[in-house]
Amino acid sequence: MSGLTYETVSRVAQQAGTLYFTVIFAVAIGWALWPKHKAGYDDAAQIPFRERPPTEAPPAADAPLTSPILSPDLNKGEL
């Protein structure tokens, strides 16, 4: 009988998988912390605090609803 039993193959696969995901995790952390990418991350961190241009302003509170689901014409079966 050969030395490749289910337990041996399972153990090797588990260790290889652990090593693989550890390397992928280390690469992802290295990529995120690389100094070259700092400016992009700093810019992305400020996005929620930027002023919206006037064309992207949210609708007024008293604006009519324009959802096709809530439209009375569509609820009556008319298009």
pLDDT, one tens digit for every residue, the chain (79 residues):
467 899 999 999 999 999 999 999 999 999 999 999 999 999 989 988 887 666 666 666 766 666 656 555 555 555 5
pLDDT for residue 73:
57
pTM over 0.75: no
Domain ranges of the chain: 1-57
Contacts of 31 (CB under 8 A, 6+ apart): 37
DSSP type of residue 47: G
pLDDT for residue 70:
57
Looking at residue 42, its amino acid is D
pLDDT for residue 63:
64
